[in-house]
């Protein structure tokens, strides 16, 4: 049966992080040319061009994976609805829904997971009786991927549960001095912002600027120590289990 697996994420930074993760676990980016820095045209299993900021990957077994940045967390649900509506003609095997948790370490909530559960209910889906938070909508397996980590507050790690907190925590776990340095710089006069974005871009500016903003989130996966710390945190939230199953599809 011809089908695709789909990952819906919030934006382009998420897309970059996802690209690094998928390459790290053995998927192939279909746009890459082994002998050139130029990208090549990518098509899906039905011969349609993969465009509009989307990326195409293939697993070791040959399954097609579509990575879609939705340009905002509030646009993930409409994108999911569109793919589910098209399921009859362009079948989906696995649908991964990725959101920032957006709570803080001081005030926890389940808003992102509730939002994903709401998306599932809107399409008459139901939970699967397992420990991984999986759902099914007809014959489509739906998996929640929520950016968060369970680290205690630490210098250089923003409190808001987002992709930026996840990567900062991994960087600081490898070298706490980097977190202390970033925290001191953000607190220095004249003060600027101290959001999760300010934290992440501070690490980029000091240690990863050679890679540029987009490749920064991929480069984290190329460093074995940082990649190991990311994996530990993604396993703790259950995200790794879903993506590992996708890689084996």
222-249 pLDDT, tens digit per residue, is 999 999 999 999 999 999 999 999 999 9
C-beta of residue 204 within 8 angstroms of C-beta of residue 216: yes
Indicate whether 116 and 167 sit together in one domain.
Answer: no
Least confident of 126-135, 184-193, 213-222: 126-135
Does 109 map to a domain? yes
For residue 109, pLDDT beyond 80: no
Same domain, residue pair 141 and 180: no
> Is 152 inside a domain boundary?
no
In a shared domain, residues 129 and 175: no
Q: Which tokens hold the place of 240?
A: 């790794």
Of the chain, the percentage scoring pLDDT greater than 90 comes to 88
Inter-residue contact 65 to 246 (CB < 8 Å): yes
Same domain, 102 and 196: no
**Mean pLDDT along residues 215-223:** 97
- In this prediction the pTM is 0.95
How far is 168 from 160, CA to CA, in rounded Å?
11
The answer to whether residues 107 and 70 belong to one domain is yes
Question: What is the reported pLDDT for 130?
Answer: 79
Name the domain count of the chain: 2
- pLDDT band for position 1 (50/70/90)? confident
Asked whether residue 158 is domain-assigned, the answer is: no
Mean per-residue pLDDT, 1-13: 95
Q: Which residues contact 64 (CB under 8 A, 6 or more apart)?
A: 3, 4, 5, 44, 45, 56, 57, 58
Burial (CB count <10 Å: 0-12, 13-18, 19+), residue 171:
buried
Same domain, yes or no: 143 and 44: yes
Please name the helix (run of DSSP H) or strand (run of DSSP E) that holds residue 145, with its range, or none: strand 140-147
Mean pLDDT within 35-43: 71
Q: Are residues 82 and 111 located together in one domain of the fold?
A: yes
Residue 157 lies in a domain: no
69/191 same-domain check: no
Q: What CATH number does the domain containing 74 carry?
A: 3.40.50.10620
Q: Is 70 found in the same domain as 22?
A: yes
Domain check: are 175 and 105 in the same one? no
Q: In what order do the strands lie in the sheet with 135-137?
A: 28-29, 55-58, 64-69, 4-9, 92-100, 140-147, 135-137, 126-127
Same domain, 242 and 223: no
Q: Give 111's Cβ-side CA count (13 Å radius).
A: 13
Residue-number span of the structural domain to which 99 is assigned: 4-147+237-247
Looking at the structure, do residues 142 and 171 belong to the same domain, yes or no? no
Sign of CA dihedral 168, 171, 174, 175: negative
Nearest to 119 by CA among 95, 101, 103: 95
Q: What φ, ψ does residue 142 adopt, rounded to 5°? A: -115, 130
From the CB of residue 28, how many other CB atoms can be counted at a distance below 10 Å?
15
Q: What's the CA gap between 179 and 14, in Å, rounded?
A: 22
């Amino acid at each position: 049966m011809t089908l695709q697996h789909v990952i819906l994420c919030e934006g382009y930074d998420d897309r970059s992080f996802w690209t690094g993760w998928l390459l790290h676990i053995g998927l192939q980016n279909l746009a890459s040319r082994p002998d050139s820095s130029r990208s090549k045209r990518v098509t899906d299993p039905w011969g349609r061009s993969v465009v509009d900021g989307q990326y195409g990957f293939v697993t070791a077994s040959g399954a097609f994976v579509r990575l879609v940045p939705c340009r905002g967390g509030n646009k993930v649900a409409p994108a999911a609805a569109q793919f589910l509506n098209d399921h009859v003609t362009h079948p989906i095997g696995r649908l991964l829904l990725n959101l920032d948790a957006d709570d803080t370490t001081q005030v926890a909530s389940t808003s992102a997971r509730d939002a994903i559960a709401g998306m599932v209910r809107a399409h008459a889906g139901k939970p699967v009786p397992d420990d991984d938070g999986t759902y099914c909508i007809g014959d489509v397996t739906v998996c929640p991927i929520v950016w968060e980590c369970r680290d205690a507050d630490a210098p250089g790690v923003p409190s808001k549960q987002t992709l930026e907190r996840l990567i900062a925590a991994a960087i600081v776990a490898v070298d706490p001095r980097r977190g202390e340095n970033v925290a001191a710089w953000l607190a220095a006069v004249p003060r600027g912002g101290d959001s999760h974005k300010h934290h992440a871009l501070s690490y980029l500016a000091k240690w990863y600027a050679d890679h540029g903003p987009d490749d920064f989130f991929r480069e984290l996966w190329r460093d074995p120590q940082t990649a190991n710390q990311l994996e530990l945190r993604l396993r703790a939230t259950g995200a790794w289990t879903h993506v590992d199953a996708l890689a084996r599809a």
